[in-house]
C-alpha cells in the first residue's frame, strides 16, 4: 500500500506544472487585460478576485508536491538499502537507432533529498511570496514563473538520464532570467536577467560538450547504464583517464555557470535585482545547487579523474575565500547574502572535490535552510523599511522586528558554524574531509577554515549593522517600520527550526552521534573513496582538535565583528581610509566585471562589429550584389545581339549550321 505511492512519482513535477497552467491562464486572461487597460487609462487598479485564486493555487501545488515527495521518500525508505532505486518511465521521448533517452524519473536517496528540499523550502517561499508580493500588479505572472521554476527544478533532480536533467537545467536557467527580470521596466533588472542567462549559457556550452563526449564514449546517457559501464569500459581501454577528465571538466564548466563559481559567478550578485523570495529560492536554496547535484550524481565519473577532483576542490576553495572577502565590504544587505551564497557553494564543491560527496549534499541541505531564511528575513527587513536595502541606513531593528530578528540571528549562528546548529555539522564535515581525505590536503583545509572565519565576520557584521545600535534610518522610513504579516513570518519560523535541527541527521560518530545522512546516501556514493569506514581510521583527537579549531576561528570572526561594529564603530571607516586602494579594490569586487568587460565582452563586440561591417556588409553583401551586377552587366552586353536586323539573325543561323555540320563531319 505504501509502495504504491511511488507510481505517483510523476505528480511531483506535474503538480507545479498544473500550477503553471492554471496561473498562466489566469495571468493571460484576467491579469494581462487588466494591466493593459490600466496602462492605457491610468488610475488605481480594481481589487481583483483572481489574486486570491492565484495566492491559493501557487503555494498549494507546491505543498501538494511536497506531500507526495514525502510519502514517496517514506516508501523508498521502507525498502531495503540495496533496493532503493525506483525508475518511472513517463514516455519514450527520444528513440533513434540504438540510442534511447526516455522521459523517465528516478527516485533514489540522492534525488529524494533534493525533492524534499526543493518542494519543502519552495513551499515555504511560495507562502512567503503571497505576503511579500501582495502589492505587486503582476501578481499572477510572478506565481506562474515561480511554479514553472519549481517544475523545471524538479525535472532536473528527478531525471533518470542526463538529457532529462539537461531539460531541467535549461528550464531553470530560463526561469531565473524571467524572475530576475520580473521588474523588467527597470533597466538594471532586465540587464541582470540577460547577464544571468548569457553567463549561464557559457557554462551550458561546456555541459553540452561534456554530454556529447559522454554519449560518444558510453553510447547512453542513462545514469544507471553509464555508471554500470564504467568498469567494463575502463578495462577495455575505451574510457581513458583523459576522456573521463574531459567529460568531468566540461560538466564542471556547466556547474561553474549554474552554481556561480569562479569564473562564471558574476551573474549572481546582479541577480539580486529580482524580488527577494526569488533570491531565496533560486539563488540560494535550489537552482544554484543544481551544479552540486550534478557533480554529486556523476561522482563515479569524477572519481576516475584525480585532475578533475583537484580542479573542483581548488575552484571551490578559491571561490569560497574570494567571495567571502568581497562580502565584508558590501553595504547592500542582499549583496552580502549573494556573495555569501557564492562562498558557501564553494564549500560544497570543495567537499565534492575531495571525495566527500555526502558532506557536499549535507551542506547543500543545511545551506538551503539557513540561506533561504536569511534571504527571506532580509526581505522582511526591506519590506518593513519600505524598500531600503542599504545597511548603513538601518540599525536598531531588533526592537521593531522581533520575529525577523530572532529567526535571522538563528540563521546567522548556523552559517557561522556555531556548534549544535545545522551549519556546524555540515561545514565541519567538509573541513574534516578536506583535511583527511586521500584527495584532500592541509592547504585546502586552511583556506576553508579561513573562509569560515571571514564568513562569521561578515554575517555578524550584517546582523550588527541591521539590527543593533542606534537607528540610522531615514525619518519617513522609520515612521512606517512594522513587523511583517504572518504569511511572511511563519515561514521564517519554520526555516529557523530546520536551521537548528537540520544538521542532527548527520552528527558525526566522533561526537557520539550516528551519521544517518551518510548512511542514507551511501548507495549513491558507493564508490566514494572518502568514506569514514575507510581502511585507516584517523585519530579521534585530530578530528576533535580540528573541530575545535574551526569553532575558534568562527568565534574570532564574531569577536572581530563585535569589536568593529558594536564597540569601536568608527574603526571600520578609519581602516578603510588607511588602505584606500585595497578597500577600493575589494569594495568593487576586485573589478572582475570590469575586467571581463574589457577583455572579453569588448573583444566580442568588436569582433561582431567587424563581422558586420567587413564580412557581412562588404563581403557577403558584396558577393550578392556582385552577382546581381554581374548578371546585369552580362545582360547589358548580351542583349546587343538582338539587333532586330534580319540579316544578323540569318547569319547566326548560318554560323550554327556551319558549326554543326562541321562537327558531324569531323567525327
For the chain, give the longest Cα–Cα distance: 116
Let me know if 445 is exposed, middle or buried by CB neighbors in 10 A (0-12, 13-18, 19+): buried
Task: Give 96's strand partners.
Answer: 99
Q: Which of 526, 575, 631, 657 binds another protein (CB under 8 A)?
A: 657
* Contacts (CB under 8 A) with another protein, residues 106-125: none
Give the residue ranges of DSSP H helices in 566-645. Answer: 571-578, 580-587, 592-596, 602-610, 621-638
Segment contacting another protein by CB under 8 A, of 258-266, 289-297, 404-412, 651-659: 651-659
Minimum distance between the CB of residue 659 and another protein, rounded to whole angstroms? Answer: 9
Q: How far apart are CA 206 and CA 227, in angstroms?
A: 21
Phi, psi for residue 352 in degrees, rounded to 5:
-60, -40
Minimum distance between the CB of residue 654 and another protein, rounded to whole angstroms? Answer: 5
Q: Does 661 sit near another protein (CB under 8 A)?
A: yes
Task: Give 91's strand partners.
Answer: 103
Q: Does 44 sit near another protein (CB under 8 A)?
A: no
> Of 77 and 654, which has the nearer Cβ to another protein?
654
The closest alpha carbon to 63, from 149, 122, 4, 142, belongs to: 122
> Of 41 and 667, which has the nearer Cβ to another protein?
667
Q: Does 540 sit near another protein (CB under 8 A)?
A: no
Q: Does 667 sit near another protein (CB under 8 A)?
A: no
| Contact string (CB under 8 A) for another protein, positions 580-619, x = contact | ----------------------------------------
Minimum distance between the CB of residue 632 and another protein, rounded to whole angstroms? Answer: 14
> Of 476 and 642, which has the nearer Cβ to another protein?
642
Segment contacting another protein by CB under 8 A, of 94-102, 437-445, 515-523, 657-665: 657-665
Q: Does 476 sit near another protein (CB under 8 A)?
A: no
Q: Please answer whether residues 326 and 410 qualify as being in contact, where contact means their C-beta atoms are separated by less than 8 angstroms.
A: no
> Of 630 and 661, which has the nearer Cβ to another protein?
661
Minimum distance between the CB of residue 610 and another protein, rounded to whole angstroms? Answer: 43
Q: Does 80 sit near another protein (CB under 8 A)?
A: no
> Of 82 and 637, which has the nearer Cβ to another protein?
637
Minimum distance between the CB of residue 661 and another protein, rounded to whole angstroms? Answer: 5
> Of 80 and 642, which has the nearer Cβ to another protein?
642
Q: What is the DSSP string of 221-283?
A: -BHHHHHHHHHHHHHHTSS-HHHHHHHHHHHHHHHHHHTT-TTS-THHHHGGGS-HHHHHIII
> Of 511 and 661, which has the nearer Cβ to another protein?
661
Which grid coordinates are listed for 64? 501538494
Segment contacting another protein by CB under 8 A, of 155-163, 222-230, 474-482, 647-655: 647-655
Minimum distance between the CB of residue 626 and another protein, rounded to whole angstroms? Answer: 24
Q: Does 643 sit near another protein (CB under 8 A)?
A: yes
Q: How far apart are CA 503 and CA 370, in angstroms?
A: 11
> Of 187 and 639, which has the nearer Cβ to another protein?
639
Minimum distance between the CB of residue 657 and another protein, rounded to whole angstroms? Answer: 7
Instruction: Determine the size of the site formed for another protein (CB under 8 A).
Output: 19
Cis bond leading into 263, ω under 30°? yes
Residue the block writes with cell 512594522: 482
Which grid coordinates are listed for 564? 568593529
Minimum distance between the CB of residue 648 and another protein, rounded to whole angstroms? Answer: 7
Minimum distance between the CB of residue 646 and another protein, rounded to whole angstroms? Answer: 5
Q: Does 647 sit near another protein (CB under 8 A)?
A: yes
> Of 187 and 640, which has the nearer Cβ to another protein?
640
Q: Please answer whether residues 342 and 267 qualify as being in contact, where contact means their C-beta atoms are separated by less than 8 angstroms.
A: no
Q: Does 25 sit near another protein (CB under 8 A)?
A: no
Q: Does 631 sit near another protein (CB under 8 A)?
A: no
Pairing of strands 86-96, 99-107: antiparallel
Q: How far apart are CA 309 and CA 557, in angstroms?
A: 30
Q: Does 650 sit near another protein (CB under 8 A)?
A: yes
Q: How far apart are CA 632 and CA 648, in angstroms?
A: 24
Minimum distance between the CB of residue 641 and another protein, rounded to whole angstroms? Answer: 8
Q: Please answer whether residues 434 and 532 qualify as being in contact, where contact means their C-beta atoms are separated by less than 8 angstroms.
A: no
Residue the block writes with cell 540495496: 82
Q: Does 640 sit near another protein (CB under 8 A)?
A: yes
Segment contacting another protein by CB under 8 A, of 94-102, 360-368, 555-563, 636-644: 636-644
Minimum distance between the CB of residue 634 and another protein, rounded to whole angstroms? Answer: 13
Q: Does 655 sit near another protein (CB under 8 A)?
A: yes
Q: Does 662 sit near another protein (CB under 8 A)?
A: yes
Which grid coordinates are listed for 126? 511560495
Q: Does 654 sit near another protein (CB under 8 A)?
A: yes
Angle, helix 540-562 to helix 442-467, in steps of 10 degrees: 30
> Of 539 and 656, which has the nearer Cβ to another protein?
656
Q: What is the DSSP string of 17-85?
A: HHHHHHHHHHIIIIIHHHHHHHHHH-SPPPPPTHHHHHHHHHHHHHHHHHHHHHHHHHHHHTS-GGG--
Q: How far apart are CA 133 and CA 484, in angstroms?
A: 12
* Contacts (CB under 8 A) with another protein, residues 167-186: none
Binding site for another protein (CB under 8 A): 639-648, 650-651, 654-655, 657-658, 661-662, 665
Amino acid at each position: 500500500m505504501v509502495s504504491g505511492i511511488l507510481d505517483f512519482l510523476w505528480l511531483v513535477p506535474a503538480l507545479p506544472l498544473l500550477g503553471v497552467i492554471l496561473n498562466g491562464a489566469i495571468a493571460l486572461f484576467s491579469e494581462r487585460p487588466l494591466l493593459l487597460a490600466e496602462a492605457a487609462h491610468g488610475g488605481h487598479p480594481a481589487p481583483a478576485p483572481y489574486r486570491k485564486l492565484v495566492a491559493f493555487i501557487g503555494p498549494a501545488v507546491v505543498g501538494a508536491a511536497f506531500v507526495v515527495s514525502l510519502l514517496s521518500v517514506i516508501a523508498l525508505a521502507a525498502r531495503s538499502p540495496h533496493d532503493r532505486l525506483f525508475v518511472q518511465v513517463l514516455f519514450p521521448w527520444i528513440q533513434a537507432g540504438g540510442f534511447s533517452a526516455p522521459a523517465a524519473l528516478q527516485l533514489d536517496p540522492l534525488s529524494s533529498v533534493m525533492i524534499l528540499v526543493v518542494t519543502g523550502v519552495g513551499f515555504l517561499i511560495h507562502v512567503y511570496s503571497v505576503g511579500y508580493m501582495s502589492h505587486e500588479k503582476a501578481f499572477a505572472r510572478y506565481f506562474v514563473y515561480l511554479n514553472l521554476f519549481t517544475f523545471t527544478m524538479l525535472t532536473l533532480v528527478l531525471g533518470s538520464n542526463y538529457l532529462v536533467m539537461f531539460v531541467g537545467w535549461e528550464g531553470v536557467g530560463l526561469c531565473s532570467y524571467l524572475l530576475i527580470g520580473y521588474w523588467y521596466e527597470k533597466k538594471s533588472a532586465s540587464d541582470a536577467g540577460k547577464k544571468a542567462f548569457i553567463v549561464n549559457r557559457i557554462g551550458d556550452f561546456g555541459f553540452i560538450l561534456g554530454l556529447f563526449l559522454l554519449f560518444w564514449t558510453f553510447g547512453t546517457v542513462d545514469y544507471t547504464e553509464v555508471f554500470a559501464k564504467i568498469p567494463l569500459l575502463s578495462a577495455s581501454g575505451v574510457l581513458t583517464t583523459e576522456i573521463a577528465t574531459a567529460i568531468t571538466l566540461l560538466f564542471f564548466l556547466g556547474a561553474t555557470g549554474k552554481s556561480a563559481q569562479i569564473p562564471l559567478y558574476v551573474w549572481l550578485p546582479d541577480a539580486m535585482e529580482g524580488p527577494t523570495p526569488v533570491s531565496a529560492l533560486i539563488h540560494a536554496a535550489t537552482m544554484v545547487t543544481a551544479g552540486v547535484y550534478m557533480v554529486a550524481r556523476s561522482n563515479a565519473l569524477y572519481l576516475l579523474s584525480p585532475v578533475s577532483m583537484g580542479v573542483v576542490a581548488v575552484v571551490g576553495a578559491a571561490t569560497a575565500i574570494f567571495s567571502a572577502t568581497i562580502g565584508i565590504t558590501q553595504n547592500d544587505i542582499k549583496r552580502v547574502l549573494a556573495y555569501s551564497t557564492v562562498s558557501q557553494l564553494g564549500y560544497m564543491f570543495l567537499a565534492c572535490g575531495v571525495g566527500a560527496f555526502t558532506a557536499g549534499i549535507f551542506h547543500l541541505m543545511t545551506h538551503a535552510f539557513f540561506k533561504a531564511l536569511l534571504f527571506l528575513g532580509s526581505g522582511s527587513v526591506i519590506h518593513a523599511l519600505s524598500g531600503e536595502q542599504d545597511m548603513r541606513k538601518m540599525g536598531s531593528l531588533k526592537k521593531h522586528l522581533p520575529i525577523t530578528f530572532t529567526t535571522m540571528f538563528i540563521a546567522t549562528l548556523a552559517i557561522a558554524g556555531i556548534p549544535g546548529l545545522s551549519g556546524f555539522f555540515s561545514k565541519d564535515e567538509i573541513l574534516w574531509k578536506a583535511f583527511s581525505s586521500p584527495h584532500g590536503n592541509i592547504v585546502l583545509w586552511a583556506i576553508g577554515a579561513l573562509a569560515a572565519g571571514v564568513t562569521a565576520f561578515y554575517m555578524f557584521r550584517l546582523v550588527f549593522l541591521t539590527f543593533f545600535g542606534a537607528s540610522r534610518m531615514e525619518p519617513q522610513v522609520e515612521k512606517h517600520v512594522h513587523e511583517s504579516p504572518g504569511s511572511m513570518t511563519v515561514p521564517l519560523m519554520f526555516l529557523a527550526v530546520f536551521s537548528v535541527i537540520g544538521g542532527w541527521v548527520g552528527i558525526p560518530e566522533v561526537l557520539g552521534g550516528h551519521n544517518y545522512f551518510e548512511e542514507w546516501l551511501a548507495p549513491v556514493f558507493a564508490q566514494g573513496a572518502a568514506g569514514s569506514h575507510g581502511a585507516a581510521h584517523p585519530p579521534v583527537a585530530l578530528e576533535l582538535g580540528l573541530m575545535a579549531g574551526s569553532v575558534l576561528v568562527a568565534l574570532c570572526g564574531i569577536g572581530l565583528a563585535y569589536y568593529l561594529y558594536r564597540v569601536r564603530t568608527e574603526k571600520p571607516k578609519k581602516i578603510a581610509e588607511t588602505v584606500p586602494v585595497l578597500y577600493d579594490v575589494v569594495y568593487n569586487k576586485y573589478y572582475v566585471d570590469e575586467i571581463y568587460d574589457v577583455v572579453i565582452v569588448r573583444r566580442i563586440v568588436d569582433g561582431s562589429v567587424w563581422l558586420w561591417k567587413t564580412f557581412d556588409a562588404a563581403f557577403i553583401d558584396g558577393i550578392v550584389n556582385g552577382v546581381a551586377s554581374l548578371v546585369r552587366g552580362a545582360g547589358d552586353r548580351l542583349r546587343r545581339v538582338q539587333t532586330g536586323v534580319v540579316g544578323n539573325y540569318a547569319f547566326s543561323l548560318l554560323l550554327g549550321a556551319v558549326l554543326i555540320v562541321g562537327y558531324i563531319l569531323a567525327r
